[in-house]
Each structure stands twice: as structure tokens, then as C-alpha cells.
Amino acid sequence: MKFAFVIHPTSFDDVVRYEPGAVGKGRPLIAKIMEWMPAYVAAHVTGVRTPDGRETEGWFVAAPFMPETMLALPRETVYAKILAAIDLGAGLGAEIVGLGAFTGVVGDAGITLAERSPIPVTTGNSLTIAAGVRSLLRGAHEMEIDLATETAVVVGATGSIGSACVELLAPHVARVVLVARNRTRLERFAADVRERVACEIVTTTDVREAVPRGRLVLTATSSTQELIEPADLQTGAVVCELSLPHDVGRRVAVERPDVLVTEGGNMRVPGAPSFARVREPGLQFNFGLPGGTALACMSETMVLALEERRESYTLGRGIDLAKVREIDALATRAGFELASMRAFEVEIDAARIAATKAAARERLRTFA
Ligand SMILES: NC(=O)c1ccc[n+]([C@@H]2O[C@H](COP(=O)([O-])OP(=O)(O)OC[C@H]3O[C@@H](n4cnc5c(N)ncnc54)[C@H](OP(=O)(O)O)[C@@H]3O)[C@@H](O)[C@H]2O)c1
């Protein structure tokens, strides 16, 4: 069974990687040109092969919009281009489509798009949640953080991804601080989640007040601005960033060598995956990740295709945790695994982790 996955640039860097000629052009102009561009087929994905010999192929279909444009334009205008991209994928034989980045955030997180799509739709958020929580816990293990006494801060806690991450993290930690801007939704979710989890649940609408409260931070916001500042982070903190566009400030990489930041949603794809650009034969489509890896939301779509699951798997903001566990198990069986840790375009190897721990010890000694 074949798949399609709807993509769009999440940053100006994404645009320039795809079209180097965009360098030097004003960002507002780029955003406007993109608004006028129709949907197109960007990449042909082949070589996804499981250890037990199953294979799938698919296409990345682009709905050209910058994230800010998607939030600003009338919803129907945005839906129309996403549906045009889905139609291109269905025309090529895809029987399921995943919604990348803001195409799964806009409006009701895929529900309306699924009603109008000729093929089943998934946001890919179930596997993103599983991968994000695993990534945060892997980072905590590397930084030797004692989870049982620690506070986790979830920024974007009422979202599709964030809310499920809160529930999955809660059994591991002493306290979870939930952060989002809409106070009513935040309090409603906090009251609901307190009935199901044993740990302490605290809420705030102020990111800068929340982040210093825990050494475990997970971000899953739909913000188009950087939210996490270097000065806010505790010594030796671990930050798992799921948000795309990125919401962890780039200055953190330079100013906080004692903090381990990791993009939480990157996965190694089984087989020998190729992401061939459709319009430029011979070139690979570079979406900013190392070869052989993909985002967890892309991976969820591939896993559903490998499993021949012709169903709209993950939709809307109320995530079914049973599906998170199921897709996590199916992905593992299909040979998908967490990619190596990575942040700010750099891989985090053992030497880097050791240096981060040493910097945290030094900072603690200096500020003690
Ligand atoms: N890495 C991957 O594989 C992957 C896969 C899928 C999605 N994503 C990314 O994950 C992120 C979240 O997706 P989602 O589907 O969960 O979105 P969502 O359901 O729209 O949730 C977004 C959350 O962020 C909060 N938020 C937005 N702006 C904020 C701000 N300035 N400060 C604090 N909180 C803010 C929202 O609450 P309020 O509006 O009340 O603030 C909400 O809780 C997006 O960036 C998406 O592109 C990544």
C-alpha cells in the first residue's frame, strides 16, 4: 500500500534548502509567492523496507505556505490547497495521507480534511507523542536525572501532542507543569487529568515562569516564535522539542552548553529510504534531517501503509493513548527506531553528552 505526506516549509531555512535562489529575497515576498503557488509533488519516497520484507513507497506532496500564513489566511483557503495536495497523492495511488507540521494543526487537526479527502488521513501525532516521550526520557537518562523527584514542564500542554505527553509523562515524575495561553482550556484539561494521574499537576500561562521550574522540558506548541530563552533553563536541564517551527531559541545552543536540547520527533526509517526530488531527477529532497531518517509523523504514515491500515488513524485534539501505544509497537515491529539525538542541525554524540554533563557540574559548582 502506498502513502502520501503533505509538507510545507516551517522556516526560511527550509525554503532556501529547497530553492537556494530564495536567498536574498525578502521573507514577506517569499511568503507571498508561496501563497500563490499551487500544490505540487515534491519527492518520491522509495526503499522503505521492514526487517520482515514488507515495503512501501509514497510521495511528499507540498502545500506551499509559511506557518504564519497558514494561521493568518481564511481556513477554507488553507484547506483548499492542502486538499489539492492530497488529491495529487491520491492520483498517484496513495491510499493514506499524513498531514505534516501545520497542515495537521490548522483548524480542527485533520477532522474536516478527513471528511473531504478521497483517502484516509492521519496527523501522525500518535507516533510523534510516543517518540517525544521516549526522547525526553532518553535525555533524562543521559543526564542522570532522577525522574521520581523531578518536575516536567510541558509547553503546549492542551494541544493534540502536548496533552497526551502530559498523561504519558505523569507516571514517571513528581510534578508536571502545564503551559498554554488559553487559561480556560488549560484549567479544564488540568482538572480532567488530575482525576487520572497520581503526580502533582500545576498550571501557568507564562512560559518564562514555567520553564525554570523543572529540569525536564517538552515543547509541542503551534507558536511561530521562539519561546524558550537561555536564561530560563535550569542547570543540566533536558529539553525535548517537538514543535515545528522550532520554539527553542537558537541562543540556547550557544549560551547554555550545560543543557541537553533534543529534537524529539526524529526516527530512523528501516531499509534504504530514498527521498528523490520529483522535479530535479538525481537530487535527494533535503528536509533538514540526516539521510535515512524522517519525522515521526511521516513515520506514522509509512507504518500505516506498511500495515495496510486504510483508516484515518490520528485526528483531532483528543488523542487515544491506546493508539499511541499501538502505533509505537507497530513502528518498532517494522524496524523504525528513535534517531540519534540531534538539535540545532548538529548530532549529539557521546562526547557531546559528556561535555554537557561536565558543563552542568561546573555551572553548579560555580553558582553553588
Ligand atoms: N516533530 C514531529 O514529528 C511533529 C509531528 C507533528 C507535529 N509537530 C509539531 O508539533 C507542534 C504541536 O502540534 P499539535 O498538533 O499538538 O498542535 P495543537 O493541537 O494546535 O497544540 C498547540 C499547543 O500549543 C499551545 N500554544 C500555542 N502557542 C503558544 C505560545 N505562544 N505559548 C504557549 N503555548 C502555546 C496551544 O495552546 P494555546 O493556544 O492555549 O496557547 C496548544 O496547547 C506543532 O509545531 C507541529 O508542527 C511535530
Over residues 203-215, the pLDDT tens digits come to: 999 999 999 999 9
> Cα–Cα distance between 176 and 173 in angstroms, integer?
7
Pairing of strands 55-62, 40-49: antiparallel
Q: Is the CB of residue 335 below 6 angstroms from any atom belonging to ligand 1?
A: no
pTM for the whole structure: 0.97
Secondary structure letter of residue 228 according to DSSP: B
- Tell me, what's the pLDDT at 362? 95
Residue 180 Cβ contacting ligand 1 at under 6 Å:
yes
| Rounded distance between C-alpha atoms, residue 277 and residue 289, angstroms | 15
pLDDT band at residue 105, thresholds of 50, 70 and 90? very high
On the CB side of 249, how many CA atoms lie within 13 Å of its CA?
15
Q: Are 136 and 169 within 8 A, CB to CB?
A: yes
196 lines ligand 1 (CB under 6 A): no
* Residue 101 banded pLDDT, cuts 50, 70, 90: very high
For position 27, what pLDDT does the model report? 87
Q: How far is the CA of 182 from the centre of ligand 1 (A)?
A: 13
Instruction: Give the residue extent of every domain in the chain.
Output: 3-126+266-338, 129-265+341-367
Residue showing cell 529547497: 18
Check if the beta carbon of residue 237 is closer than 8 Å to that of residue 255. no
- Residue 19 pLDDT: 86
179 Cα–ligand 1 center, Å? 11
Say if residue 342's pLDDT is above 80: yes
3-state SS class at 117: coil
Q: Which residue has the cell 499511541?
A: 324
Residue 175's pLDDT band (boundaries 50, 70, 90)?
very high
Q: What is the mean pLDDT of the chain?
A: 96
| CATH number assigned to the domain with residue range 129-265+341-367, chosen from the 4 options 3.40.50.970, 3.20.20.70, 3.40.50.720, 2.102.10.10 | 3.40.50.720
> Would you place residue 25 in the very low, low, confident or very high pLDDT band (cuts 50, 70, 90)?
confident
Q: Counting atoms of ligand 1 from 1, which one is nearest the CA of 157?
A: 43
pLDDT at 367 over 80: no
Alpha helices in the chain (DSSP H): 12-18, 27-36, 67-72, 75-91, 111-116, 125-142, 160-169, 183-194, 207-210, 251-255, 296-306, 321-333, 350-367
For residue 43 the three cell numbers come to 519527492
